C-alpha cells in the first residue's frame, strides 16, 4: 500500500531524517496482521511516547501561563486539549486518515464512527512520538503549540473544559438547589457490546435521556441534552 508521506511532511512542515519513523507512526496493528513480513512495527510504542511528550508540553505551558490557576483547573484545561476527541479532530484537520496503514478489513469495518476516531487519535500521539525521536524537543514543542495550544483560547471562552455532567450539576444546584441523579432506563447487548440508555433527573422529574456504549458516555449525553432542554447551554 503506497502512501504519499512527503505530502504529509509538507503539510506539517517537518521533514524526517528517518522516514521509517514517520511511516511507523501511521501503522495500525491490523496492517501487520495482514502483512506479517512488513519491515516495521505498529505504532503503539510511539503512541505511548507521544502521549507523554504531549502531556509534558501542555502541562508546562499551562503551569507557566496561568500561575493563578489551581491544580484542578489546570488539570481540566489539559484534559480538554489532550483528550481523544480533540486528538481525532486534529487528525481530521491534518487529513491523517489517508496516510494510515490499515488492513483491508479494518479500513472497511471502521471507515467512520468511534473506532476510526480512536485509531486517528492514537496516530496523532504516535506522530508526536516520532517527531520527538527524529527531530528534537524544540521541534515537537512547536508542532504541539501550532496544532494543540492554539485551540486553548476558544476552549476557555466556551468553557468546554467543563464537562456536561459537571456543568449541569453546577447550574442545577445554583438554580434549583437540587443535585441531578442518573438512572439506567434500558440496557441491551452482550457483555462485549453493551448499549445503555440513561435518564438524568432533578428530583423525580426526568429532564433528558442519553445513549451510549458505556454508562459514562450515556450520562454525558443525557447531561448535554438536559442543558439544552433547560435552556442552560451557552
Edge-to-edge strand order for the sheet containing 181-188? 181-188, 195-202, 205-212
* 104 within a domain of the structure (yes/no): yes
**Listed range (104-113, 116-125, 140-149) with the worst mean pLDDT:** 104-113
Could you report the per-residue pLDDT of 75-88, keeping only the tens digit for each? 888 888 888 888 98
Q: Is the pTM of this model over 0.95?
A: no
How many independent structural domains does the chain possess? 2
**110 touches 119 (CB < 8 A):** yes
For residues 104-133, average pLDDT? 81
What's 88-114 look like in SS3? HHHHHHCCHHHHCECCHHHHHHCCCCH
pLDDT of amino acid 3:
75
**15 touches 5 (CB < 8 A):** no
Q: Which residues are 212's β-sheet partners?
A: 196
Phi, psi of 233 (to 5 degrees): -85, 140
pLDDT of amino acid 90:
92
Q: Are residues 129 and 180 in the same domain?
A: no
Higher pLDDT, 21 or 162: 21
Could you report the per-residue pLDDT of 157-178, keeping only the tens digit for each? 877 777 788 888 888 998 999 9
Could you report the per-residue pLDDT of 98-108, keeping only the tens digit for each? 899 988 766 65
**Chain mean position to CA 51:** 11
* 136 within a domain of the structure (yes/no): yes
| Residues classed as catalytic | 51, 125
Q: Which domain holds residue 29?
A: 5-158
pLDDT of amino acid 193:
79
Q: Are residues 103 and 188 in the same domain?
A: no
Amino acid at each position: 500500500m503506497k502512501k504519499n508521506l512527503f505530502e504529509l511532511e509538507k503539510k506539517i512542515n517537518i521533514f524526517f531524517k528517518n522516514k521509517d519513523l514517520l511511516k511507523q507512526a501511521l501503522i495500525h496493528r491490523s496492517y501487520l496482521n495482514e502483512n506479517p513480513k512488513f519491515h516495521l512495527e505498529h505504532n503503539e510504542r510511539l503512541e505511548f511516547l507521544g502521549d507523554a511528550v504531549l502531556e509534558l508540553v501542555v502541562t508546562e505551558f499551562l503551569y507557566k501561563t496561568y500561575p493563578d490557576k489551581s491544580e484542578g483547573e489546570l488539570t481540566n484545561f489539559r484534559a480538554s486539549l489532550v483528550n481523544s476527541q480533540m486528538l481525532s479532530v486534529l487528525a481530521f484537520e491534518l487529513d491523517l486518515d489517508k496516510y494510515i496503514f490499515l488492513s483491508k478489513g479494518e479500513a472497511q469495518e471502521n471507515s467512520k464512527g468511534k473506532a476510526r476516531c480512536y485509531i486517528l487519535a492514537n496516530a496523532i500521539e504516535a506522530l508526536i512520538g516520532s517527531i520527538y525521536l527524529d527531530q528534537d524537543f524544540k521541534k515537537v514543542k512547536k508542532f504541539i503549540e501550532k496544532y494543540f495550544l492554539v485551540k486553548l483560547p476558544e476552549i476557555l471562552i466556551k468553557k468546554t473544559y467543563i464537562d456536561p455532567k459537571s456543568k449541569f450539576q453546577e447550574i442545577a444546584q445554583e438554580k434549583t438547589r437540587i443535585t441531578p441523579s442518573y438512572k439506567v432506563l434500558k440496557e441491551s447487548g452482550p457483555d462485549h457490546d453493551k448499549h445503555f440508555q440513561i435518564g438524568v433527573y432533578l428530583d423525580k422529574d426526568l429532564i433528558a435521556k442519553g445513549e451510549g456504549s458505556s454508562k459514562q458516555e450515556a450520562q454525558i449525553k443525557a447531561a448535554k441534552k438536559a442543558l439544552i432542554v433547560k435552556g442552560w447551554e451557552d
